[in-house]
Amino acid sequence: MRSLRLPLRAICIASAISTALAATGGTFEEGGSTLVSAMMMFLGNDQSVYILDKAEGNAAQVLGHPAWGSVWDIKTRRAVVMDIKTNSFCASGMHLPNGSYVTFGGNDAVGQNGVAGSQKNPDGTGAWDSYYQDFDGRRAIRIVTPCTITDTLNSGPCAWYDEPTQLSLRRERWYSAAEATGEGEVVIIGGFVRGGFVNRWVPNVDPATSDGQADPTYEYYPPRSGEPRTFDFLIKTSGLNSYAHTYLMPSGRILVQANLSTTLWDHNTNVETPLPPMPKGVVRVYPASGATTMLPLTVANKYTPTLLFCGGSDMPEADYAPHP
């Protein structure tokens, strides 16, 4: 076994959707403390912003262990901790059609200083840690129904449902992408099993799985029958395809962008229509980490999607570090 632990440089920022706080455009205002780092956040309803961190030694405590989840109230700018059982480090997430929100995958269980949790899986990765009390999150499916900070948040209908023995992904997925399908499901794409950063060896002798450290398949929530199928695009973009950029198109196909490649993907038939490579050799996925968004769909533009890609890195492929 080669590398098990993600080095500190592998910091990930998941989808960030927040409401405009500052009254004046182009200005900043101090918004209070979120209690945990906003590695991932989403707007749950018109009052609450949900925040997920990775399992780490935050001062804020919940149920006798450091917290890595919170809810931040837009009006009062106050946050309340929430209990999350599994390590949500670099999970992905999506809204469900019924208003709940779901996050997928993450890292294995870690303890202080990021070492593998005190209780190990057979392969030496962390299953659970006695200090942080986090469980292995790589197959996690966590669901929350948005409430407000005055509700009871850590039990009952407002709590995170995070029970890996009851509900879990078919594969381990860290840094996967999650996109809504036209059928009202979420498709969960790729991800790392272990390792991280740029998940391929130099030379890249195993572009599909990087020696068992990457998963080039996709699966659904709610689950569809059958085993996860291989998505060839993830093999083509090997290594530079964590947190692939995904956008559902009016046709029901999904535009997927990673490394220098873009494809229009019919996930039902698993047929791709490749689009031209990214101009000027600019990579936008993690760790090149450009910003991308879909511009507003309006009556005036007849709901025609326009995607904007900003920033990234034009570093040559060979200059990305070899596998950690």
Ligand X SMILES: *[C@@H]1O[C@H](CO)[C@@H](O)[C@H](O)[C@H]1NC(C)=O
Q: Which residues bind ligand X (CB under 6 A)?
A: 96, 98-100, 143, 145, 198, 200, 204, 222, 236-240, 259, 317, 320
Nearer to ligand X, 145 or 148 (CB): 145
Q: Tell me the closest approach of the beta carbon of residue 146 to ligand X, in angstroms.
A: 9
Q: Tell me the closest approach of the beta carbon of residue 164 to ligand X, in angstroms.
A: 15
Nearer to ligand X, 99 or 296 (CB): 99
Q: 48: Cβ–Cβ under 8 A, 6 or more apart, which residues?
A: 71, 72, 73, 74, 146, 147, 148, 149
DSSP state letter for 283: B
Q: Tell me the closest approach of the beta carbon of residue 318 to ligand X, in angstroms.
A: 9
Burial of 35 (C-beta count, 10 Å sphere; 0-12/13-18/19+): buried
CA distances from 224 to 106, 169, 175, 185, 221 (A): 21, 11, 21, 9, 7
Nearer to ligand X, 62 or 198 (CB): 198
Q: Tell me the closest approach of the beta carbon of residue 320 to ligand X, in angstroms.
A: 5
Nearer to ligand X, 27 or 166 (CB): 166
- The three state secondary structure string of 113-158 is HHCECCEECCCCCEEECCCCCCECCCCEEEEECCCCCCCCCCCHHH
Q: Tell me the closest approach of the beta carbon of residue 145 to ligand X, in angstroms.
A: 4
Residue of this chain nearest to ligand X (CB atom):
239
Q: Tell me the closest approach of the beta carbon of residue 14 to ligand X, in angstroms.
A: 20
Q: 315: Cβ–Cβ under 8 A, 6 or more apart, which residues?
A: 283, 288
3-class SS of residue 34: coil
- Sheet containing 92-95: give its strands across: 92-95, 101-104, 141-144
Nearer to ligand X, 86 or 237 (CB): 237
- 179 within 8 A of 254, measured Cβ to Cβ: yes
Nearer to ligand X, 69 or 126 (CB): 69
Nearer to ligand X, 296 or 322 (CB): 322
Q: 253: Cβ–Cβ under 8 A, 6 or more apart, which residues?
A: 264, 265, 266, 267, 273
Q: Tell me the closest approach of the beta carbon of residue 47 to ligand X, in angstroms.
A: 16
Nearer to ligand X, 209 or 237 (CB): 237
Tokens of 175: 């840094």
DSSP codes of every residue in 210-264: TTTTB--EEEEESPPSSPPEE-HHHHHTTTS-TT-EEEE-TTS-EEEEETTEEEE
Q: Tell me the closest approach of the beta carbon of residue 236 to ligand X, in angstroms.
A: 5
Tokens of 287: 């760790």
